[in-house]
């Protein structure tokens, strides 16, 4: 059965494609905002890939690191730690110059009533970071929420479609993108804007939320009738490999799995595995938050696991008593409020 040790192993074992690409990335790699849901495993994945490639390259994790245990786990794998509050200009400016930056810092949940904090983190800080690292290659984590809800029959917007953010959080995400686009067009900074749509880590993510709702008999809202998602290990791998694809003007890419999955289908399959009948609420609509991921698949290949495999892995994780991070995705939201 899956346990935390096995989950970490799955999340942080580099593929051959990553090993080859990291050998082609010139210079050290700094991950800003490394203490979030995805950051620690991304740092360890990068460090393992560096060793497997037999190259000399520093992997540097920057965060406030309120958890000493998390910091120690990174150091154990050869990741260098810098404790810094990025919102303090003197601490941001004191960071060393590096050739490669993966920018993961951001704020989403708790935006309502604290919009100024969300804009400070997502927009103001982004402008400072873009200025500080204007000579670096930068992968910028963004969100598919910057697109509007789209008709399901279209299969989700492509990178060429217009963005129409609905709500303070999506608007602040677009502001983050624009700050780095400014650097790309003004200074020639090589930028890759990474529009992620629902990473699955088993201890968090849409499938985890559905499983927890089923176990607690909480109704699952299905107005957003379908969605796409990607294994967190693949999402992290693509973020590292994206450093080779950064450009000026900025390159933009939707990052998710290729399958469009019905919420009802996923819930029924998880419920069957758990032996619990799911409870549903609402009526499925003909539009949802989706993204077209053809460019992602053409650039990086398919994720390590299919959508169906991840559903079955989520069932196994739940049956084995796997812990959750207790950070709901709010996948059911349709109004841009988080």
Mean pLDDT of the chain: 94
pLDDT, tens digit, 9 for 90 and up, residues 193-252? 999 999 999 999 999 999 999 999 999 999 999 999 999 999 999 999 999 999 999 999
pLDDT value of residue 110 = 64
Residue-wise pLDDT for 106-151, tens only, equals 887 666 778 889 999 999 999 999 999 999 999 999 999 999 888 9
Tens digit of each residue's pLDDT (9 = 90 or more) over 286-338:
999 899 999 999 999 999 999 999 999 999 999 999 999 888 888 888 776 76
- Phi-psi region at 228: left, alpha or beta (left = phi > 0; alpha = psi -120 to 50): beta
Contact 218, 122 (CB under 8 A): no
Say which CATH architecture domain 4-197+231-256+290-304 belongs to: 3-Layer(aba) Sandwich (3.40)
The answer to whether the beta carbons of residues 29 and 59 sit under 8 Å apart is yes
| DSSP type of residue 122 | I
Q: What does the domain layout of the chain look like in residue ranges?
A: 4-197+231-256+290-304
pLDDT at 326: 87
Which residue has 């698949």 as its token pair?
Answer: 297
Mean pLDDT of 61-80: 92
* Helical residues (DSSP H) of the chain, grouped into ranges: 4-12, 16-24, 39-53, 68-76, 89-93, 115-119, 125-132, 168-187, 206-216, 232-241, 263-274, 294-300, 307-319
Answer whether 241's CB lies under 8 Å from 17's CB. yes
The percentage of the chain sitting over the pLDDT mark of 70, rounded to a whole number, equals 99
The pLDDT of residue 70: 86
* Predicted local distance difference test score (pLDDT) of residue 156: 93
Measured CA to CA, the distance from residue 11 to residue 41 in angstroms comes to 6
Q: What is the pLDDT of residue 222?
A: 94
Any idea what DSSP says for residue 291?
A: -
pLDDT of residue 125: 97
Residue 1 is predicted with a pLDDT of 75
How does residue 260 score in pLDDT terms, banded at 50, 70 and 90?
very high
Question: pTM for the whole thing?
Answer: 0.96
């479609």: which residue's tokens?
161
């Amino acid at each position: 059965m899956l346990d935390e040790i096995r989950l970490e192993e799955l999340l942080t074992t580099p593929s051959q494609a990553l090993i080859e690409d990291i050998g082609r990335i010139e210079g050290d790699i700094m991950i800003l905002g490394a203490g979030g849901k995805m950051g620690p495993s991304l740092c360890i994945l990068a460090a393992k890939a560096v060793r497997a490639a037999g190259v000399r390259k520093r992997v540097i994790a920057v965060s406030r690191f309120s958890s000493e245990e998390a910091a120690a786990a990174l150091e154990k794998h050869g990741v260098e730690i810098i404790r810094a509050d990025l919102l303090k200009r003197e601490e941001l400016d004191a960071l060393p110059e590096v050739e490669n930056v993966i920018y993961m810092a951001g704020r989403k949940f708790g935006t309502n009533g604290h919009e100024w904090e969300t804009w400070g983190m997502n927009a103001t800080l982004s402008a400072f970071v873009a200025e500080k690292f204007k000579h670096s290659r930068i992968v910028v984590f963004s969100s598919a929420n910057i697109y509007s809800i789209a008709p399901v029959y279209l299969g989700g917007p492509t990178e060429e479609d217009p963005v129409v953010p609905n709500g303070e959080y999506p608007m602040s995400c677009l502001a983050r993108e624009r700050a780095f686009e400014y650097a790309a067009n003004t200074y020639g900074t090589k930028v890759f804007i990474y529009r992620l749509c629902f990473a699955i880590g088993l201890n968090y993510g849409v499938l985890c939320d559905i499983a927890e709702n089923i176990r607690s008999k909480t109704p699952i809202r299905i107005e957003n009738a379908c969605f796409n998602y990607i294994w967190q290990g693949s999402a992290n791998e693509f973020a590292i490999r994206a450093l080779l694809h950064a450009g000026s003007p900025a390159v933009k890419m939707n990052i998710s799995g290729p399958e469009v999955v019905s919420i009802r289908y996923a819930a029924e399959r998880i419920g069957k595995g758990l032996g619990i009948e799911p409870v549903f609420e609402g009526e499925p609509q003909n539009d949802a938050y989706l993204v077209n991921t053809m460019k992602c698949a053409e650039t990086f290949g398919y994720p390590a696991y299919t959508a169906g495999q991840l559903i079955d892995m989520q069932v196994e994780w739940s049956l084995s008593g796997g812990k959750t991070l207790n950070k709901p995705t709010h996948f059911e939201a349709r109004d841009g409020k988080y």
